[in-house]
Each structure stands twice: as C-alpha cells, then as structure tokens.
Amino acid sequence: MKFIAEINIMPQKALLDPQGKAVSANLKNIGLEACGNVRIGKHITMEVNANSAVEAENLVKDACEKLLINPVMEAFEINLINPPS
Amino acid sequence: MKFIAEINIMPQKALLDPQGKAVSANLKNIGLEACGNVRIGKHITMEVNANSAVEAENLVKDACEKLLINPVMEAFEINLINPPS
C-alpha cells in the first residue's frame, strides 16, 4: 500500500529561532502588528510503500532520524495519510 | 482572542523540487527504498490576535501574500487552531 507521510520539523522550543524573529519584526513593519511569535520549520511530504500503517510510520521515523532532522536543534512530528481505498 | 495559525508552504506541484529530489536519492542510498517522491517546503506557526476566526484567517492570508510566500513558486495552506477557552 502507498501511504503519504507529512512531516513537520520545527526548531526545539527552548532554542531561539532567528528566522522566525526576523519575520515577526517584518510583520510589524508592514502593519500586521496582530501577528507575532513566529517560528519557522520544514514541512516534508513523501510517499511510503508499506504493508501497514505501523510499518510506514516506522520507515518515516527512520528516515527522519537517519537523514532529515538534527535532534539537537529540531523536533519532528509525523502525520500519516492512509492510501485511498 | 489569541489564535495559533499553522501555515504549510510547498513548492508548486508543477515545479521541480531539487531539495526533495536530493533527499529521495539519499533515502535510497541509506536503504530506505520504500520512501520516495519527497517534497520539501516550510512549516510556519504564529500567534494572531483577532476578534474572530475569520479575521484571524484574513490576517494570516495577508501575511502570507505580503511577506511569506512567492506566488510564482509556492502555494500555501492555513490551518487555524482556536484559542483554548
């Protein structure tokens, strides 16, 4: 079965996010004072061939830990979308 | 009220995503052949002060169109999380 995985990778909460700070400041400059506290991370989608949702999630977790994230600076969450039946 | 907005910004479907292609190739190299067709975009969270969900969504859309996205190359979707009551 072909699953689609959506992965959100965000900087750890305890860390400063300079890119987000820059965007926050610029939102104020263009008159959008109501928006703030911006944090910027990565959104990754991929297709996964697996026999079950559990297997697919393990494969995606493997991919995150081996290649996609830096555990010192980033945290990730995985959202698996079931294949259309 | 304080809303939290989650924004996903992805490269347009019609465009090549070289970063995603590089990750796809590397996933194969480390033995994760089951994963492929990777696309990489940005995930942004921000806080929005607004009186209603509609107002909050319009503010976030404004922020995207004026500052965050490049409409030629990127598409975005907004997911608004209601404030804890």
CATH number for the domain that contains residue B28: 3.30.1280.10
Token output for B56: 């909050």
Distance CA A27, CA B32 (A): 40
Q: Do residues A68 and A76 touch, judged by C-beta distance below 8 A?
A: yes
**Predicted ipTM of the assembly:** 0.91
Domains identified in chain A, total number: 1
Q: Do residues B53 and B3 touch, judged by C-beta distance below 8 A?
A: yes
On chain B, the residues whose CB falls within 8 A of the CB of A23 are: 44, 67-68
Average pLDDT over residues B14-38: 95
Tell me if A37 and B43 make a contact (CB, 8 A cut-off).
no
Tell me if A59 and B23 make a contact (CB, 8 A cut-off).
no
Report which secondary-structure segment, H or E, holds B84: none
Q: Which domain holds residue B65?
A: 2-81
pTM of the model: 0.92
pLDDT digits (tens, 9 = 90+) for A17-58: 999 999 999 999 999 999 999 999 999 999 999 999 999 999
Report which secondary-structure segment, H or E, holds B62: helix B53-63
On chain B, the residues whose CB falls within 8 A of the CB of A1 are: none
Mean pLDDT value across chain A: 94
